[in-house]
């Protein structure tokens, strides 16, 4: 059944998103989570206000998925709710907020992501560093500074992201090309 749902959605991508919106109010949380994911995959711009409300709801699993969906959609209205979620007590929500801001990739989010390089949870630090790596020259510069002058925790997270940036800029050589 999930295969048929995926096929229907792929065949009717542009019209599917608005039809999924009512499922955000379904009584079953698994249906709501599925709807949130689908709206993100489809980049349904009409869902942004509802997803922001869900992200701010305090329901951890739904907030996390809503933040990730907002990141996929890439609408500017989601930036402030993502900023607010960076201080959420739940690490998964902080990770999702950092990931969403990284997907947005704008230089203006750098200052809000930097404090997460000092987070007590290593996955949050890594998510913040990965998000910074997607924020252009400003993000890369912030990572270099954190690597050189930050705490050991921040330096390790920054180094990981900087290594990824370096690896992504290397042109792979396929053995046998010569």
3-state secondary structure labels for all residues of 1-41: CHHHHHHHHHHCHHHHHHHHHHHHHCCCHHHHHHHHHHHHH
Angle (CA) 96 67 18, round 5°? 150
pLDDT score, position 17: 79
pLDDT score, position 1: 46
pLDDT score, position 177: 52
Cα dist. 145→110, 118, 132, 148, 162 in Å?
12, 13, 12, 5, 11
Spatial distance between the Cα atoms of 99 and 124, rounded to a whole number of angstroms? 10
Tokens of 94: 């902080």
The whole-model pTM stands at 0.84
- Could you tell me the domains of the chain? 1-104 (1.25.10.10), 109-170 (no CATH)
Q: Which residue has the tokens 């912030």?
A: 142
Tens of pLDDT along the chain (178 residues) come to: 455 555 555 565 566 778 889 999 999 999 999 999 999 999 999 999 999 999 999 899 999 999 999 999 999 999 999 999 999 999 999 999 999 999 998 899 999 999 999 999 999 999 999 999 999 999 999 999 999 998 999 999 999 899 887 766 545 555 655 4
Tokens of 30: 């698994």
């Amino acid at each position: 059944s999930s295969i048929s749902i995926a096929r229907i959605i792929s065949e009717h991508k542009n019209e599917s998103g608005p039809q999924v919106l009512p499922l955000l109010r379904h009584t079953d949380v698994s249906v709501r989570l599925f709807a949130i994911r689908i709206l993100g995959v489809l980049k349904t711009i009409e869902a942004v206000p509802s997803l922001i409300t869900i992200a701010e709801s305090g329901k951890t699993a739904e907030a996390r998925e809503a933040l990730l969906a907002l990141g996929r959609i890439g609408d500017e209205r989601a930036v402030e709710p993502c900023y607010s979620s960076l201080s959420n007590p739940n690490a998964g929500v902080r990770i999702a907020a950092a990931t969403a801001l990284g997907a947005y990739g704008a230089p203006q989010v750098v200052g809000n992501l930097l404090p997460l390089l000092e987070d007590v949870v290593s996955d949050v630090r890594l998510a913040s560093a990965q998000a910074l790596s997607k924020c252009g020259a400003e993000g890369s510069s912030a990572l270099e500074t954190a690597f050189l002058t930050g705490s050991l925790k921040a330096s390790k997270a920054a180094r990981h992201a900087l290594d990824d940036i370096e690896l992504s800029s290397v042109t792979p050589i396929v053995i046998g090309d010569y």
